[in-house]
Amino acid sequence: MLDLHTHSSASDGSDSPRELVRQAKVRGLKGIALTDHDTCAGLKEAFAASLEVGLPVLPGVELSAEWGEYDVHILGYWINETHRDLANLMIKMRADRTCRAAKIVARLGDLGITLTLSEVTAHSTGDEHSLGRPHIARALMARGFVNSIAEAFDLYLERGRPAYVARYKLTPEEAISAIVGSGGVAVWAHPGQLAPLLLAPLVAAGLAGLEVYHPDHNPELEQALLRRAQSHNLVITAGSDAHSATGLGAKRIGLNVWSELWSRR
Ligand SMILES: [Zn+2]
Ligand SMILES: [Zn+2]
């Protein structure tokens, strides 16, 4: 079985790409895709670990796009990270992450919560360009400003809360185009309730698959998404969206999906 959606410390996951691959093998998975947010920085180490432990690793990325006020995440598989448009896009998005983290820290300061950017960085194992709200939430918790990560989001970091800062806006179509343009395959991650509204235009833009099975989806939603994916002739995928090795394989799918995705390149 495959887990096609995982995050390492190259973005906001807590385990290194090597540890993730090792643990996937230990947990009996037959392959994983490494899909860090807006970066392919973890792939090299993941491939090295893939050879060491004998577990296939599918190169991936998860691009953060927005549609109106909704987050739309697009997974890219077999992307060419050196392709000009995709590379430029990832550089832009990662630079924006650093700026955004600094702006959030400044807003928290305005609210009387004094945190420094280096405290936030200390809660990240990636470089400064991979900083995200989860790292800020961990820093807030470590300093005792909140009791949990969820509380940090509820009180300060979520859209509509006082320290929320919007990020660089990428449309889902732009994300798909950058992935497909680099020779990759685009799959909509955890579409949730948005599928009825957005699926047709995204298919028209080149979407090849739908992440039907995801921890945020309940069985009814999975059934509805399955029917939609079938009616659009999309590849049906599954991913745990694990941000640490302990979550690996929470959602998994058959090995045949690997070749189905490959055939859509
Ligand atoms: Zn996502
Ligand atoms: Zn994810």
112 CA distance to ligand 1 middle (Å): 31
Pairing of strands 31-34, 57-67: parallel
Confidence of residue 60 (pLDDT cuts 50, 70, 90): very high
Ligand closest to CA 239: 2
pTM above the 0.95 mark?
Answer: no
Supply 162's token pair. 């006082």
Q: Which residues on neighbouring strands pair with residue 64, listed in sequence order? A: 73
Q: Cα(142) to centroid of ligand 1, in Å?
A: 25
Please give the pLDDT value at position 128: 58
pLDDT digits (tens, 9 = 90+) for 141-187: 999 999 999 999 999 999 999 999 988 889 999 999 999 999 999 99
Can you say whether residue 240 is alpha, beta or left, with left for phi > 0 and alpha for psi between -120 and 50 degrees?
Answer: alpha
The CATH architecture to which 1-265 belongs is: Alpha-Beta Barrel (3.20)
Per residue in 230-254, is it b (16+ CB within 10 Å) or e — as a string? eebebbbbbbbbbbbbebbbbbbbe
Q: What are the sequence ranges of the domains in the chain?
A: 1-265
Q: Say which ligand is closest to the CA of 36.
A: 2
Q: What's the CA-to-centroid distance between 50 and ligand 1, angstroms?
A: 24
Point out the ligand nearest to the CA of residue 242: 2
Please identify which residue in the block is written with the tokens 């973005």.
Answer: 11
64 CA distance to ligand 2 middle (Å):
9
The alpha carbon of 119 and the centre of ligand 2 are apart by a number of angstroms equal to 24
